[in-house]
Amino acid sequence: MSTTTEIEDQIASPGAAEARRVRKVMTSSAIGHFVEWFDFAVYAYAAPVIAALFFPKTDAAAALMAVFAIYAVGFVARPVGAFLLGNLGDRFGRKRVLAGVILVMGVSTTLIGLLPTYAVIGVAAPVLLVVLRMIQGLSAAGETIGSNSFVAEHSPTARRGFNVGMVYTWSNLPPVIAALLVLGLTTMLSPDAYESWGWRVPFLLGAPLAVVGLYIRTRVDESPAFLEMRESRQVEKAPIRTVFREQWRSMLVCFSIAAVASLGYYSLTGYFYSYMTVTIGLESSAALISNSIALLITFFTVPVAALVSDRIGRRRMLLIAGLFGAVIAVPAYLLVGLGTLGAAILSQGLLGLALGLFFGPAGPAFVELFPARVRYTGASISYNLAFTIFGGTAPLLATGLISLTGSTVAPAWYVVIVTVLALLVVVTMPETNRRSMRD
């Protein structure tokens, strides 16, 4: 039901009422995005202490690799979640699914913060950690594509990329807040206090954040594209079968874009902190500060790049950003190897800039590649498969490559190879920035 203010807006200016509605949708999606990825980010920054508390105290490097393996396990559930949630989103609406995923993520994250350690319950501790990480992954599978679709389907064509970019970029802010929270806790608490209970605080914040996000998401209207399909009885009954039969080329392009985005994002948010502290030997506070600065650069770059892609096209912007990322990857890793705060800020700043330039056009492109009747399914499956293969394994594979080759730059070459191969597919994609979100 419209409020008095909304009715007055509609009488005075239909355009004002529409803008108000779009802002409301963007706000609900951005806050939900923040909650979902804050819950996911805190695990990465707690990795060193989780390694010490949830595994036998033998080899520190082996324990850290085990933690990153569990980090990767959280991504194994994402393709399953993509099939399930994407199908539900295309059949029953975007709004219901988005409300559900934020609730599940909040509960699973809070339970991680309440888990007993290995010293208390033995091997059951890492087993329960694996289970909760898989539940987190199942939930996360429906968030990004659902939010991006929801905003895109509410937005005017000329501003669609910018609007999606403004929401999509909120996935870059949670790691910053999580990093600053961890920095504050480790600064204020003694090492023993932080290891005893302080590390649990960010996880326990998942509960109130989820409640706020759920409340906001229940107070927005369903996507116009989905409502039109439902009213005309054109809702797809078997979106999974249809998307594989009719949209496999779009799925390949979406997968390729997501491969670059996921590898860049999770290298920066899931791996670099441990890489700088464990491999390079940088102090924890310096690593958190430099990582936060890099992600803030990404945060502000994404909507700008998305706005540019509204003008020059998604494909052109993706190619420019991808090539820039491939060129600076190795120099950035060499630079951070100097082991100073200034070098860490500069190197990660370059990586954050490249990531933001790519995320800007990627956000709207993911959902523009598919028609509304199979959008949630097609984009979710492609996106989450790529995030599982390239994003979830990024910390584990990077650590393994360094151990195997003895070179701290080995992960950068992996980024270059994946990016170049993906761009060979992206160059074949059709331009999507003027496509109808209904057909």
14-28 tens-digit pLDDT: 567 778 888 888 988
Strongest mean pLDDT among 180-184, 192-196, 311-315: 311-315
Residue with the larger pLDDT of the pair 426 and 108: 426
Structure tokens at 389: 């293969």
What confidence tens digit (pLDDT) does each residue in 259-293 have?
999 999 888 876 787 788 877 888 888 888 888 89
Cα distances from 340 to residues 223, 282, 349, in angstroms, run 48, 7, 14
What confidence tens digit (pLDDT) does each residue in 328-378 have?
999 999 998 888 889 889 999 999 999 999 999 999 999 999 999 999 999
Cα distances from 359 to residues 83, 224, 321, 345, 369, in angstroms, run 23, 25, 9, 20, 15
Q: Given a cut of 50, is residue 4 above it in pLDDT?
A: no
Domain ranges of the chain: 15-426
Across the range 309-321, mean pLDDT stands at: 97
Q: Which of 176, 269, 197 is nearest to 49 (CA)?
A: 197
Question: From CA 210, how far away is CA 192, in angstroms rounded?
Answer: 29
Second CATH level (architecture) for the domain 15-426: Up-down Bundle (1.20)
- Mean pLDDT of the chain, nearest integer: 87
Residue with the larger pLDDT of the pair 11 and 429: 429
Across the range 32-45, mean pLDDT stands at: 76
Q: Report residue 61's pLDDT band, with 50, 70 and 90 as the boundaries.
A: low
Q: Given a cut of 80, is residue 95 above it in pLDDT?
A: yes
Residue with the larger pLDDT of the pair 404 and 57: 404
Q: Report residue 146's pLDDT band, with 50, 70 and 90 as the boundaries.
A: very high
Q: Which of 222, 221, 248 is nearest to 235 (CA)?
A: 222
Across the range 393-408, mean pLDDT stands at: 83
Based on the number of CB atoms within 10 Å of its own CB, is 331 exposed (0-12), middle (13-18) or buried (19 or more)? middle
Question: From CA 288, how far away is CA 211, in angstroms rounded?
Answer: 28
Q: Given a cut of 70, is residue 59 above it in pLDDT?
A: no
pTM comes to 0.85
Q: Report residue 60's pLDDT band, with 50, 70 and 90 as the boundaries.
A: low
Q: Which of 180, 194, 189 is nearest to 38 (CA)?
A: 180
Q: Given a cut of 50, is residue 54 above it in pLDDT?
A: yes
The pLDDT assigned to 115 comes to 92
